[in-house]
């Protein structure tokens, strides 16, 4: 199995198995949403697209009354951020800590973020498409070993101008070590998350929708025992939790 890394600028050329990583915070948040009972998550690139999709989604037939009560919107809820900040009109932000104790049973979510979902949208040539964070690292590695692709490309979405992205590179390095059947000590990799520009900023900066408690969620390795697979359905990028 050949292991490669790509960024948002180069992931469009990646084929075979592609794993889009956003530790702080998109795919840690998504993992917590699945743990809270979300049925699936539709990933989009634009704020306007997310809001329009919500308006066009049918009511949740399994729980129509709950759908009507939820902010007066259809069954789908929109979560995410723009430039790291909450978006007016979104139902949920991009905070994994904010989802703790929340009941999202059977709900469809629509997620838009500035980095994580962009990596999914841009990885258009992937044969197999996954998202990942430390929260689902081992489950992701096990899923990939079962598929046994010739090539795995990790898209480290935090590697952008002005951001070192080492939280995502650390996650890619950790999952790659698992794929090589190593038994890596998670502690040094998690310290890289804390020491990254995004990790330090999450603790020190007082920003709306970005509580410092999010960092604890982002470094809780293997908190959940599922991978997150993205499939193209009816023109949508739909992510589901896969045991």
Residue by residue, pLDDT tens for the chain (243 residues) are 999 999 999 999 999 999 999 999 999 999 999 999 999 999 999 999 999 999 988 554 445 444 444 444 447 999 999 999 999 999 999 999 999 999 999 999 999 999 999 999 999 999 999 999 999 999 999 999 999 999 999 999 999 987 899 999 999 999 999 999 999 999 999 999 999 999 999 988 778 888 999 999 999 999 999 999 999 999 999 999 999
Bridge partners of 129, per DSSP, are 18, 230
Q: How is residue 63 annotated by DSSP?
A: S
- Residue ranges making up the domain that contains 112: 1-243
What CATH number is attached to the domain comprising 71?
3.90.1560.10
For the beta sheet containing 2-6, the strands, ordered from the edge strand earlier in sequence to the opposite edge, are 2-6, 151-156, 17-21, 128-132, 227-233, 236-242, 40-44, 108-112, 77-80
Question: CB of 29 within 8 A of CB of 35?
Answer: no
E strand or H helix that includes residue 201? helix 197-204
Global pTM reads 0.93
Per the structure, how many domains does the chain have?
A: 1
Question: Tokens 């790659």 sit at which residue?
Answer: 176
């Amino acid at each position: 199995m050949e292991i490669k890394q790509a960024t948002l600028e180069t992931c469009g050329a990646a084929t075979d198995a592609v794993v889009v990583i956003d530790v702080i915070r998109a795919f840690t948040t998504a993992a917590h949403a699945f743990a809270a009972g979300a049925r699936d998550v539709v990933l989009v690139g634009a704020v306007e697209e997310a809001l329009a999709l919500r308006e066009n989604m049918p009511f949740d037939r399994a729980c129509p009354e709950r759908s009507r009560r939820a902010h007066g919107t259809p069954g789908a809820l929109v979560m995410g951020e723009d430039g790291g900040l909450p978006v007016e009109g979104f139902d949920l932000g991009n905070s994994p800590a904010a989802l703790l104790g929340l009941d999202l049973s059977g709900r469809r979510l629509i997620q838009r973020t500035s980095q994580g979902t962009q990596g999914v949208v841009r990885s258009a040539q992937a044969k197999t498409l996954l998202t990942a964070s430390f929260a689902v690292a081992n489950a992701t590695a096990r899923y990939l070993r079962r598929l046994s692709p010739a090539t795995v490309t990790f898209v480290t979405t935090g590697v952008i101008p002005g951001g070192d992205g080492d939280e995502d590179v650390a996650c890619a390095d950790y999952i790659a070590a698992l794929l090589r059947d190593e038994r890596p000590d998670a502690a040094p990799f998690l310290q890289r998350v804390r020491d990254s520009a995004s990790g330090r900023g999450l603790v020190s900066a007082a920003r709306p929708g970005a509580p410092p408690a999010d960092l604890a969620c982002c470094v809780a390795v293997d908190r959940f025992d599922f991978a997150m697979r993205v499939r193209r359905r009816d023109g949508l990028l739909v992510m589901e939790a896969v045991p």
